[in-house]
Structures are given as structure tokens and as C-alpha cells.
Amino acid sequence: MSPCQEPNIDTHYREPSLPNRPPAQAAGNRYPERDDYDRRDRDRRNDYAQTDSIRNTFVPAAAAPNDPEYATREEAEAAFAKLLKRTNVQADWSWEETMRTTIKDPQFRAIKDPKDRRAAWEKFRVEMQAADKEKEKERQAKLRQDFVNMLKSHPEIKHYTRWRTARPNIEGETIFRSASDDTERRQLFEEYIASLRKAKEEARIATERMAKTDLVNMLHTLKIEPYTRWSEARALIEGDTRYQQDDKFRSLPMHEVLIAYENHVKALERDFNDKRQLQKTQKTRRERTKREEFVGLLRVLRASGKFKAGMKWKELQPLIEDDTRYDTMLGQEGSTPLDLFWDMLEDLERDLKVKRNTVLDILDVRAIHDSLF
């Protein structure tokens, strides 16, 4: 019989009747006792074989007159499920335990096929397990909220409180006794402590971030230069009334103050270097403009014939000493008025030499022409 089948049939068998033994043949047999023994042994084996065959023959019992009948399979499954609920069948029961509890009820045979009956039981068990999980989830959610509210009503419980310290203070609460066991209570307590630690850490980070922002703003108002030392800057920071009176600066570690100072000094150095580079560029541009203006003055004098080849600086100086283009050149870096004078004089002598060579070449050509003709 299959393990999924229930013993719902009756088995009947008949005791075998031993056949009458034939009389011994006296005539023509030399060993009559031996023949009788062989015949009795053979008859005995045949009787045992017939008995086993009869015992292994099952005769199904007739259907009980009170077995329920349903028009559809859905109605039969619903009746079977109702039976399981009525007999308080649990989701963790085995099929054998379910059979022992429900087999005597007529509704057990609402589903005729044993395989379909067990399949319906499996479906009922799965649905019941899902419902139990959902109920347990709802119970834990409500218990967790009530347990947290209960713990919040005890201000002595902090983010550093341990279970063995808090337990005597809360074990008299009704919500404390609502938990299934001490393991669940401790788990809920640890979750609450973890949330307190997380909130504490988040508040610390937010306060530290705000303190850093205010410290940076305060550094801009202090007299700190790019060359100010840390010891001097620290004295200025700690001596400020805002730093002394604001509690959020007390939670700020000193190394964070040092980092803020270093970043501020680096920013001051960048601004200082940018300004110096800009000033240098502007100064170079102004000096180049002044040199170009002085060169223009020399060209005017050259064009007017006052600047001549072989001219000395002492001869030129009286001509330009009252000109602003000469005065602005004095004292600046780079080429001086004297350097530009020598450059202009060399250029003039170079032009004069080119013209002289051109004239000499023309005279040479003319002399050759006169000698030939």
C-alpha cells in the first residue's frame, strides 16, 4: 500500500482447508512409507501457497453510506479545507499526523482520490504557512513600534546603555511581557540602541559640518595673512568670542581647526600670488608702453635732424630732459633711456653706412665708365 493512501478498505481472507490425503497404494510399491512422506510434503507446500495467495488478495470494502458527495471539485476542496480548519490542523504537521486527526470524520472523504486529497492538504498547508508568516510579520511590526515607544518613555536609556542594565527598569512593562521570549526582547532593544547610536552619529556629523562652515566664515574676519603661523592663528581663533561662546565649536576636534586654517592660508596664498602676477603683468605692460613712447620721441628728433650720427648722450639729454616721456622712463626696470639712445644711434649709423656704400658703388661704376669711353 502506498504511504499516501489511508487504510480505508477492509481485507478479508479465508483459512485454507487442507485437502484429503489419498489412501496409500499398497500394491506395487516397494517403499510405501517413503511415498506417503513425499506425498504429504508436496501437499503441505501446495496448501501454504494457496494460503499466501488468499492472504494477499484484498477485497475492497463497500463505500460507507454517509460519505459526502459534492457536485464540483471546488466544493469538495472547500469542504476538506473546512475540515482541516475545524480540527485545528497546523501548518507544520505531517500528512500522517493530519490523517490520524481527521480520518474518522466523513468530510475526510469529500475528495475521493487520495492523491487529490493530499494535494489539497499541501495547498492548505502552504496557504496556512503564508498566512502565519503575514500574521507574524504584523505582530512583530506592532510589537516593535510599541516596544520602541516603551523604551522612549525611559529617558535613562541612552545610546550606550547595555541590555543587562536596562532590563531591570523595563521588565515590569506590559509591552515587555508581550514579546514571545527574552531573545526577541533583546533583539528589539538592540535595534533601538542601534537607532540611537545612528541618530547620535548623524547629529554629530551635522553639528561638525555646521561648525566647519562657521569656522571658515570666522577665519575670513580674522587678521590672518598668508605668512601667519599656526600658533599665531590658533591664538586668534581661541581668543574670538564667537569661538568661546558657541557650543558647536567645542565638539570640533583641534585637528579639524588646523585643517581649516591650512585651507584658509592656502586660499590666501593663491589670492596673493594671483594679485602679484597681475601686478607684475600690468607693470610690464606699463614699462613697455613707456619705452615705446620714448622711442617715439627719439624718432621725432631723428626726423627733425636733431638726432644725428655720432651724437653723444650729453648732447641729447638737454633736448629731452623736460619731456614727460623721458621722465617716466627713469627708475623703471628693463631698458633705460641710455640703452634706447644707443640702439637708435646704432640704427642711424647703420642706415648712414648703407647710404655711403651705395654712393661709393655709384662713383666706382661712373669712374669705370669714364675710363672706357
pLDDT at 321: 87
**Quick one: CA torsion of 43, 48, 53, 59, rounded to 10 degrees?**
110
- The ranges assigned to domains in the chain are 1-62, 73-139, 281-372
Would you say the pTM of this structure is higher than 0.75? no
Question: Which helix (H) or strand (E) segment is 266 a member of?
Answer: helix 254-303
Residue 193 neighbours by CB distance under 10 Å = 19
pLDDT in 10s for each residue of the chain, 373 residues: 444 444 443 333 344 444 444 444 444 444 445 555 555 556 555 554 444 443 443 333 344 556 788 888 888 888 888 988 899 888 889 999 989 988 888 888 888 888 989 998 999 999 888 988 898 899 889 999 999 999 999 999 999 999 999 999 999 898 998 888 899 999 999 999 999 999 999 999 999 999 999 999 999 999 999 989 999 999 999 999 999 998 888 888 899 999 999 999 999 999 999 999 999 999 999 999 999 999 999 999 888 988 888 889 998 888 888 888 888 888 888 888 989 989 988 988 888 888 888 888 787 777 776 777 6
pLDDT at 1: 43
Q: Is the dihedral of CA 210, 213, 217, 219 positive or negative?
A: positive
pLDDT at 236: 92
pLDDT at 371: 76
Q: Which CATH architecture has domain 73-139?
A: Orthogonal Bundle (1.10)
DSSP-assigned letters across all residues of 51-102: HHHHHT---PPPPPTT----SSHHHHHHHHHHHHHHTT--TT--HHHHHHHH
> How far is the CA of 359 from the CAs of 348, 352, 362, in angstroms?
17, 11, 5
Q: How far apart are CA 70 and CA 124, in angstroms?
A: 19
Q: What angle do CA 188, 190, 195 make, to 5 degrees?
A: 95
- C-alpha grid cell for residue 261? 586654517
Yes or no: say if 84 and 122 are a contact pair by the CB < 8 Å rule. Answer: no
Half-sphere exposure of residue 247: CA atoms within 13 angstroms, side-chain side: 2
pLDDT at 38: 56
DSSP-assigned letters across all residues of 170-218: HTTSHHHHHSSSHHHHHHHHHHHHHHHHHHHHHHHHHHHHHHHHHHHHH
Closest CA to 342 of 321, 315, 311: 311
pLDDT at 373: 63
